[in-house]
Amino acid sequence: MIQAVNAGFENGLFWFLTPDGDVIYRSIDELGYPYFYSQRDLSGFQGVVSSDLETINVLYPDVIASKEMFKVRVKTPQLVNYLKADAGLTVESDIDYLTRRLGADGVVQWTAPRVWVSVDIEVDKDDNVFLIGATKVVDGVRKAYKPFYSVESFIDWLENERITVIVAYNGDGYDFVYIGKKLANPELQKIYGRVLKLDGAYLYSKLMHEQIRSLRYVCQVEEVGEKLDISIENMNARNMEEVKIYNERDCELLADLMLKFGLVEVYLGIAEETGLMPKIYKRDGTPRYITEIPTVENYIMKHRDKFGVYLMDFKGVGQKIKIDGGYVFSKGHGVYNNVAVVDYSSLYPTVVMHKNYNGANKVIFNFFKSVMTDFFTFKTNYRAKFKETKIKKFELLGDVFKIFANGSYGIFQNIYFRYHDPDIAAFITATARDQIRTVVSLLEDKFKVPVIYGDTDSCFFLAESKERAEAISNELNALIQPFEVKLEHFFVKLFMRGSDDKETKKRYAGIDDAGKVEIKGLEVIRSDWNQFVKDKQKGLIDLILKEPNEGLYDKALYYILEGFDELKAGAVDPMMLVLSKGIKSDKVYKNKNLPHLRALGQLEDNGSIVRFVSYLKTTDDVLVVERFEGKDVKSLIDWKYYTINYLNAMLRLLDSIAVEGQETSKEIIKRLVPKEAKNGKRGRSKKVD
């Protein structure tokens, strides 16, 4: 078995980069010829090495069928597609040889190295890479920072140090692209091409189940540290010492973020468990990482000795059918004391593992019980390792397999899954909704506690103490087996945002007995709102949660009006008003006139993939941050737009604590903002992109 971090093909041979930095070459006959199963004997066809009759079990949605088929081995992976037309029925003819088959068959074991490097580059206004920073991580320990002043010296260092993995935040859209563009030496290009390049923004987003956000924001939220500031004017080689300090800090933050959650090791651990190559590139150069569908499929193939089946070929994209999602129940907004929150433990996977489905494709549903059980075994084992060693990556590896298991509903609903079945997805969500209703009924009828909110897999109810909440949680578990809930939070004070005539999903803030604040769904934790609103809303949340209820409305309104006056006077730093929006490179936007797309159009096309764009709303249009230099930015800002959006975000919270007779948000906006501004094109009273 070959231990490898990355692999590729050149000059008729496959190469494999080992964790120690060696490059191993293998011919296709040494690795084992590509194969698929054919209904017809293809002996004698050009490029066919062998065509041997075997009996295999093929997994179909409605049956596991025993079939006599020919195992056809071919000289090159490309021949599979050419031969399919003559093969009749085929099985597993769409499994890529290098990226999936070799790992599933145990020829290659994708393995995490002991050493990886956090990288950040600096580019001047003339598009020159004048600094590459690198911070080495060895056995989970961050080492010293090292600067490089040319891409050539950086690649030489990678080669000499036998580095196999580099990580950069937004690397796929920026750092990796720039480094690759600046390399003219073919030999250095080859060395760089072999190194596994992982985008830290993607790893954090995927493994932590979060949106892609800026490094500054993520490091603040995760309490890793603060980025340094540097002016655009000083971002050049003439100010190298200042830039190096800035660059070193970014390298350290990224390394610490990855280390805090073991993200590099976790991601490569998934590759090891499934046999999936860690990263591949589509023909257009777009990178592709490991996702749920190939994870499940490859896991089945890699453990063929256990499951005993082969996968049917993908039959084409299915029809997307909308199904009902999670259950949402709300008794309206307001401020509450002593609120317990119980969450189901892995609600969707528990439905798959323990409930019977009698639809047309019950065979595939029952088969997935075994897959889900395996994923939960991984979760249990990794969490046990975490308890024993306190190594964070083991806890997260357990959580990752839990996420894949939780994705059982999403996989069946995904039209690109070869076993796509919206009826199964609908059954899973319907059963989950029934479970939430069951818990709501038990809490209110048996335990006599008011339920104020329910959402997908959680319930919020009032309890006089944390001890009482824990007792209720334990008694619930005895009544709802095989399902299980756990006491996730006990808030001494919580407020729900929303309105009495509209249920609002998970928008609340609460504080526990240790003073820790938990926020869900509010603008303060969303990346597409400006920093001024987020800072002000965070202050308002602290005020609501920590001040006595008496006189709270008046204090909150006074606080809100202070911020309103700042905006009205144009006294806010423009950088505090910058809006950031993620760009989905593989998404086709029907509306090309969205503000963030117009901002994207102001950036120079340098061939890199842009993951997010930052811009200001101006009176004329938008202005991307990269074009601030040399402009009187304050004079261009659409202050009315920012004022309206600020008031909407803040006053919705005020509505949550208002009582009868106190001004509502609509009344306050009507009083503060002239009608023409509120109803104008740029001042519509809604959240804008």
pLDDT at 685: 34
418 phi-psi bin (left φ>0, alpha ψ -120 to 50, beta other): alpha
Average pLDDT of every residue of the chain: 88
Whether 683 contacts 640, CB under 8 Å: yes
Contacts of 209 (CB under 8 A, 6+ apart): 403
Mean pLDDT of the region 593-622: 79
Consecutive H or E run containing 28: helix 28-31
97 pLDDT higher than 50: yes
Rounded to 5 degrees, φ, ψ at 507 are -125, 100
Q: Which of 513-517, 560-564, 611-615 has the lowest mean pLDDT?
A: 611-615
Instruction: Name the range with the highest mean pLDDT among 160-169, 510-519, 632-641.
Output: 160-169
Query: When comparing pLDDT for 628 and 678, which is higher?
Result: 628
Q: Find, among 255, 234, 259, the residue nearest to 146 by Cα.
A: 255
Rounded to 5 degrees, φ, ψ at 557 are -65, -40
pLDDT at 320: 80
pLDDT at 73: 97
CA angle 187, 193, 194 (to 5 degrees): 100
Q: Which two tokens stand for residue 53?
A: 């009759």
> How do the domains of the chain map onto residue ranges?
33-106+283-311, 115-281, 328-361+419-521, 531-679
Residue 452 to residues 354, 508, 681, Cα–Cα distance (Å): 29, 12, 38
Q: Which two tokens stand for residue 159?
A: 């080669």
Q: Helix, strand, coil % (nearest 5) of the chain?
A: 45, 20, 35
**pLDDT tens digits, residue range 323-366?**
877 778 887 788 899 999 999 988 888 999 999 999 999 999 99
Instruction: State which CATH number among 3.40.630.10, 3.30.342.10, 3.40.50.150, 3.30.2290.10 fits the domain covering 33-106+283-311.
Output: 3.30.342.10
Q: Which of 14-28, 158-172, 185-199, 373-387 has the lowest mean pLDDT?
A: 373-387
pLDDT at 676: 57
CA angle 675, 677, 678 (to 5 degrees): 65
Number of H helices, E strands in the chain: 25, 27
pLDDT > 70 in the chain, percent: 93
Q: Which two tokens stand for residue 646?
A: 């600020």
Whether 258 contacts 279, CB under 8 Å: no
Q: Three-state DSSP class for 594?
A: coil
Strand-pairing partners, residue 53, are 70
pLDDT at 247: 96
Q: Which of 100-109, 493-502, 509-518, 630-639 has the lowest mean pLDDT?
A: 493-502
pLDDT at 498: 62
Q: Three-state DSSP class for 281?
A: strand
Contacts of 76 (CB under 8 A, 6+ apart): 28, 34, 47
Tokens 């050049």 correspond to what residue?
Answer: 236
Q: Find, among 331, 686, 685, the residue nearest to 508 by Cα.
A: 331
Q: Which of 21-35, 596-610, 659-673 has the lowest mean pLDDT?
A: 596-610
pLDDT > 90 in the chain, percent: 59
pLDDT at 688: 32
pLDDT at 376: 83
CATH superfamily of 531-679: B family DNA polymerase, thumb domain (1.10.132.60)
Consecutive H or E run containing 73: strand 64-74
pLDDT at 605: 66
CA angle 7, 11, 17 (to 5 degrees): 20
* Domain 328-361+419-521 listed as CATH 3.90.1600.10: yes
pTM of the model: 0.82
**pLDDT tens digits, residue range 129-179?**
999 999 999 998 999 999 999 999 999 999 999 999 999 999 998 899 999
* Domain 115-281 listed as CATH 3.40.50.920: no
